[in-house]
Structures are given as structure tokens and as C-alpha cells.
Structure 1
């Protein structure tokens, strides 16, 4: 169907958009197409500086520290530390997820925090939850009934309400004793279940509620299969156009909030390379993206190094397909990069410092990418340690961030193969960044507790 609004002069379209009855509707209209976005911005119809539309910085967790660090442009506002929360409990300051400017903090004492406005809300403890197909799983591993992750959903362009999803997962690699006690019928159950019951918290009611979601399509496998599949380092999630995408094991769950349905999407995998558990699910310019690191086998390919792959999730009428956007060997890419640039626009905000850790600011011009041969019977090489850490995606550019062996943060434009050095992020060792969240400031909405 032809878009007749394209025939309108920009000033006429601007006058039409001015008649919308709320900034939130105007913000939603801004997302319709580039032409509408251009008119909204050119005629200054909306204060876009209040909305989470631009990258503010990157929250990182570094081995040897328990509290988050904030890596950002040197001219940006101070976001860390979170000392105004009035707690010194490390677990209460742990960032679990990020969504459109809000942070989900804590494991036992849970808060939702807006660092840009320094407002937060404390959540009541969730009640016990029931998950179909997990009955009897406690006989396999005692913690099976409590293993879950929490995910934050917030879209200020649609509503000031936020939601928290509590979703169970199957723990992997149970102990041999637990396997002996396992019932075969538990192992044979499909995962995720055809009806998946989530606990959902709403900021409007300030209550937790059990909500069933119906699976569309096939399951990812069985409970027994999930026991053998490695879980990711961190189960990242992202929100895009009314759907929450949650990473579990080797698949995504696409959870449609309005329809109370979900779909399993298998993640892409390599065929010949040594795969690692370094992967990241996030949103960028066009939707949902997935990136992973893998190691080159020196015997098979004649050289060693790390490879980077980036996929884009093509969504068309309910059909999901991964489109490989780029594949690059990072070793020659980083080796040839001009690192002799000292003044960079980004730096670490040293908030929330853990005084038990003293960072050694070292600049390594060279790094040993060598692999250790570990099995005389199988000609396979493994890395001595992870030298690169994935930091996530730029929210509105086709850019992936990673921490390099020389402890620099690099922005790799995978649509143009351009590489950009942002600055120095000090760590004890290369690859010490193990969790990260690109952060978009949001200055709209209010949270209840202050």
C-alpha cells in the first residue's frame, strides 16, 4: 500500500504531527520511517534529548572487582557511582539487565534504577513460581526449582510503565549423583514447555503475577539435552518493537508481550572453528543482532587468532532467519591498527571502586596470540586465555564494541569494516571484562521510591 504521507510537504506533515495529543505518541510516530523522523527532528517537535536514543557509555564488569565500571566519553555527565542508593551490599548493586535507560539491579534485593535522573524503585520479593515440565526436576538437581533470570522491559515511547520478567532455565552439567537419581521421563520432557509460566512484575500494580505464554512452533530440545548444553556467561536479553528476546542455552526466546506467545529461535553456530562461550545478543540499527567469538585452529588453517561473526535476525511474517553480516579474523585487523594515539574521547569513570582491587594501568603494544597444544592425540589448539571481550552493540549504528589484547576499547563498524579506537580501559589482564551493557540515558518518567 502506497504511503500517501510522502506526498505532503514537510511543513504540512509537521503541522499534522503537532496535533498528536501526547509526546509519547509523537515519539512513536518518529519511529515510523526516516521521513517522519527527519520532520520531527528538523521542526523540533519532540525533545529527543529526554529519550533513550543515543549511546551514553558502557557499563562493564571486570575480573577482580565486584562493582560496575562506567566507560564513557570524557565530556559526558557523571553516571557512577551509585552511592546515593544508600547501600554497600555488592549484590544489591549488581547490574542484571538494561533496557532503554533503566537498569535492573540486585539478586535478592531488587531495584530498578534510572542513573540519568538518580531515581529508583524497590521491588517486592517474587513469590514461588510453578513451571510446567519442571515437576520432579528437583530430583536431578536441588536448585532446579529456583534457577531463574530476571529481565527488564521498558519502552518510554509507548508507556511510562516498566515490567520485570522472571523466567526459569534448566541448569547444565548436574553432578553424577543427581544424574543417577534422574527419572527418564524428566529428561524426555521438551524444553522450553508448550505453556511457559512466567512471573511478571508491573510497575503500575507493584505486584508479581503468574502469566502463561503459549509456544508457537517447536521446542529447542528436551530437558535432558539442556543439561548437556553450556549456558552463556551471561544471559543477555534485548527488547525490540513489542517483543523481548531472551538468550537461553543455544537458543533465543522471542516473547511477544501483547499476544502472550513466544517462539524458539535457534542460534547460529560455526562448523569447523573452536567455539567459545563469548557471545552477545543485543539490538542495533535495524533490530536484533547476535555476535560471537571463535578461535582459529592453527593446524587446520595455518594460523592462529580470534574470529568475529555478526548475524542479523531477519523477521518476516513470523519466519526467523539469521543473516551473516560479517566474518573477520581479528588478529591481522588489530595488529595493523595504528595504536599510537594517546588522547582518546572515552575514558573510565572510576565510580564504585572496589578498594580490594588495584588496577595496573599497562599499555601492551604487543600481545601473544599463541595457542597451547593440549592433547597429543587430537590435533586441536586452545587459547591460553581469552584475549578479547565483547562489550555489546551500538544502539543505532551497525557497530560492535570489544576490548582488545592491548586493553583498548574498539568500535568495529561491521557494515563498512571500519575500526575506531575509543580509548584505554585498564584491566588486570586482557579479556578480563566479562559482562557489559551499552547504556542509553533516559530522562523521562518517574520512579516511585525517591
Structure 2
């Protein structure tokens, strides 16, 4: 029975006033009638919504699926295995890799190139209809690569969108191995073309209509450069470009480090140039994210553990990157020790690998490898239950990121990778040489050791030192 058709609107409104903000946000997405009542009476105050972080999805180079790193919970937990999705090939347990996320939803691609939009908290999911630009097994376009980005704001609408953003591919040169003139010869006219173009046609999926559409966005201002400028930059598979959705606009980090600000309300876009390369020094690639005051950029150096953070100032109609933090991170003692912390890696790949191997008869090497994995897992999990009861009390809602005794004054070992930003506080999540996760508050330089995040199966496979592939997905 639909109670919205039976009960008076005033009575429903009175009931909804007693619902907690998180529950109201869910009610808004349930049906149009509840959406209308909540919005008309302004029952949902977005400032009262929970500002917690549920966990971080991490893509590991040699693993089949994304790992999930989060603090244990006594309530309903988020499963990183996505075992409620259809099997990839009808029998395989592996579900795929997280490609993007936005306000609690994640975009997942499985190994059959099927795409799903998933709410990990509720286990609700939609499958996306196929689209040519999302097929990676076919040669779609010799000149462009495509990346999918998710747009979702539950305080505005229960519907989501998926944008496909093109980036010019790096062109193989005559002196490069594998050069084929018929395929790789540069088109001189295309080389001189502006990028992005004055009118940028993007493929967009809308859950409201349930189909893909082409939308044109008009550039407001100058281009970032020419296609030739973009062709000169590498196309490393692991060199992920991030995007964030903030205040009605999608910000996409593109080649040459410009940011494309796409306004969904007026179908226009702007190019925001970095203007910060002179400040980078030896720092590595930039990481785009959303945090307390809007859109942020961050980077770390490999040699000196130097962290730099900028925030985008959009006041007075200008787009400027303002340096927010510029200092060396404190060295972490024994970062590679497999000691548990407040957060725990769910070890999805280990569990799925074990399940698959135990369901079939393997050779001696498989059996020996399984026993080796079990021993590693047993060592890591020794005393885990006691730690869960006694130590797992850190809550990102309480702003109590503390100094840790494992921070030392001397220059320590290990490098830092950026996992992502806390969406509501000026805290950056970092991986220390792939082994440990830490939360660093760059307002007051406080740090907390979150725990060991290196996957059991990854360690046993002898992964390279850059085994953790970002992006990492912050789920709130």
C-alpha cells in the first residue's frame, strides 16, 4: 500500500519531521511524493547530514577486484566484494574494479566490460546500457581515450548521471618501438586544433531517462592548448585522472594538469589552468579531490615526503589555485610492519582467491601457495578480535585525529601516495609505501595511523613497489 496516497500530506510531514537527516535523505529518493513533501517544507537540512567516511576503495595492480579499507563497525557493514552483483562470466566470483564514485555511489566495471552504479551501503545497483565509448576491447578511436565519471547529489535529486570525458591519446613517434606510419602518422590539421574544442560534445547517461545522450557544452574562455600539446603526454594505464562533483559542477583533471569545470545548469565549461608547476619542484602527479572548502589539488614528492595542497578560489568570478599547505610529512616508524590499526583491509582478493581454489582441485603448487597465504593471513589476524574491542574507537565524525607514537623526528623510510581527501574536513588520506594508511590533518599537522592496508595475496605475489594503484574511492 502506498501510504502517500492514503495519509494526509500534513500527517506525513509531521512523521517525516521526526526522521533523522540520513533517513530523510533516503526518503527523498524513495518516491516523488515524499520528495515533494520534504523539499516543499525544507525538512532536510543538509548541514545536519552525517559527515563521516565509510571507507576507501583501493585498486591494486595485480589484483582482480578493488580492495576495501575501513574501520570495523558493530552495525551494518559495507562489503567490498560486491558479491550481490551478477558474476562476471556466469561463474567467476570476481566482480571488477571501481572506476569512480560520487556522494556514496560507486561506478564499477567488471571484466566483461559491464558497468554498474552501486550503493555499497544499501546494496542497490543499476546496470548501465552498453555504449561504444566505454568498450576497451575494441579499437574505438586511435586519437582519444575515454574515462567515465559519476555525478550524484542526493540532496538535489535521487537520479545520477555518468559522463564520458575524452582525452587525446599520446601519439607514437617514428623513433618509438611499434611505430606504424599508417596508424600513427599525425594529422597536421588536427595537431593545431584547440583542446578542448569551443563546443565539446560529451556522451552522458541519465538514470532519469535510462539512456545515453549526447550533450554539447560551450567553452567559456580560452582553451588549454592544442591537441599536439596533449599528444606529448604519456598514457600510462595507472595514471588515473580524477574528477569531483561540487556545487552543481563537475571538475575533471585532464592532461597537462588543466581542470575542466563543467556546469550542468547552463551547459557551459571552463578551462582552469594549474599555474602551479613552478611550485611543484620534485613533486609527482597531482591528485584532484573534494574537501571542506570545495575543490583541492595535492601532490607528494618521492624523495623527501613533501606534501603540497592547493584549494580552488572561485571568488569574484576568477579561478585561482591558492597554496594551502607546503611542508614535509613526518616519517612513520616501521611502516611495513603488519600491525592492525583502527581500520582494516577486508582482503577481498584473498578471500575470493581462497574460495575459488578450494572449490576445485589444484596441483601441488596451488596447494602450497594457498597454505602460504593462510599462514600470512593468520599472522596478521592474530589478536584481531581483542584489538577490535579495545582499540577500534576512532570515528572520523569526531575530529579526533591524534598524534601517534609511531611518528618519529628523524628522517624515516617510506614514501607517501595520496589515497584521497576527507570530503568534509581538511584531512588527506595517505598510503605509506603501499603498506600503511594514515590520516593527516593539514590544518594542524596531526596524524593518525589507520592500519595495515597491503593485501595478503598481493604481498605473496611479490608486487612491485608501486603496487597500489590509485584511484582510491572515498565512500561516505
Aligned pair 1:420/2:435, yes or no?
A: no
Aligned pair 1:435/2:433, yes or no?
A: no
Cα deviation 1:300-341 (Å, max 9, x = unaligned): xxxx523111110111133111111111223xx115799999
Q: Give the equivalent residue in structure 2 for 1:309.
A: 308
Q: Distance in 1 between matches of 2:189 and 2:470?
A: 36
Contact 2:151 2:160 in 1 (8 A): yes
Aligned pair 1:239/2:239, yes or no?
A: no
Q: Give the equivalent residue in structure 2 for 1:23.
A: 38
Q: Give the equivalent residue in structure 2 for 1:325.
A: 324
Which residue among 281, 297, 313 is the counterpart of 1:273? 281
Which residue among 187, 191, 196 is the counterpart of 2:195? 191
Residue 187 to residue 272, structure 1, CA distance change in 2 (3 Å): same
Q: Secondary structure at the match of 2:84?
A: helix
Contact 2:195 2:226 in 1 (8 A): yes
Cα deviation 1:203-255 (Å, max 9, x = unaligned): 11111111100011111110001011245711211100100011111111000
Which residue among 240, 243, 248 is the counterpart of 2:254? 248
Cα deviation 1:134-179 (Å, max 9, x = unaligned): xxxxxxx983356211111010000001111112110124242467
Q: Secondary structure at the match of 2:230?
A: helix
Stretch moving more, 360-369 or 394-403: 360-369
User: How far does residue 438 in structure 1 lie from its aligned partner after superposition?
Assistant: 3.8
Which residue among 101, 104, 112 is the counterpart of 1:101? 104
Q: Give the equivalent residue in structure 2 for 1:86.
A: 86
Residue 420 to residue 341, structure 1, CA distance change in 2 (3 Å): farther
Q: Give the equivalent residue in structure 2 for 1:405.
A: 433
Residue 64 to residue 368, structure 1, CA distance change in 2 (3 Å): farther
Cα deviation 1:232-282 (Å, max 9, x = unaligned): 7112111001000111111110000011000011123244722423x3111
Contact 1:404 1:431 in 2 (8 A): no
Contact 1:407 1:430 in 2 (8 A): no
Q: Give the equivalent residue in structure 1 for 2:387.
A: none
Q: Distance in 2 between matches of 1:406 and 1:121?
A: 32
Aligned pair 1:282/2:285, yes or no?
A: no
Q: Distance in 2 between matches of 1:401 and 1:69?
A: 15
Matches within 5 A, 1:151-190: 151-176=149-174, 177=179, 181-190=185-194
Q: How many residues align?
A: 373
Q: More helix by proportion, 1 or 2?
A: 2
TM-score (norm 2): 0.69
Q: Distance in 1 between matches of 2:62 and 2:338?
A: 28
Q: Secondary structure at the match of 2:131?
A: coil
Q: Give the equivalent residue in structure 1 for 2:343.
A: 346
Q: Distance in 2 between matches of 1:340 and 1:26?
A: 53
TM-score (norm 1): 0.73
Q: Give the equivalent residue in structure 2 for 1:137.
A: none
Unaligned runs of 5+ in 1: 1-13, 32-36, 42-47, 130-140, 296-303, 371-385, 442-450
Residue 197 to residue 340, structure 1, CA distance change in 2 (3 Å): closer
Contact 2:434 2:466 in 1 (8 A): no
Contact 2:65 2:95 in 1 (8 A): no
Q: Give the equivalent residue in structure 2 for 1:138.
A: none
Cα deviation 1:322-361 (Å, max 9, x = unaligned): 111111223xx11579999956211111224462997767
The one of the two structures with greater contact order (alpha-carbon pairs below 8 A, sep at least 6) is 1
Q: Distance in 2 between matches of 1:88 and 1:106?
A: 10
User: How far does residue 287 in structure 1 lie from its aligned partner after superposition?
Assistant: 0.4
Aligned pair 1:396/2:424, yes or no?
A: yes
Aligned pair 1:213/2:206, yes or no?
A: no
User: How far does residue 27 in structure 1 lie from its aligned partner after superposition?
Assistant: 7.4
Contact 1:100 1:154 in 2 (8 A): yes
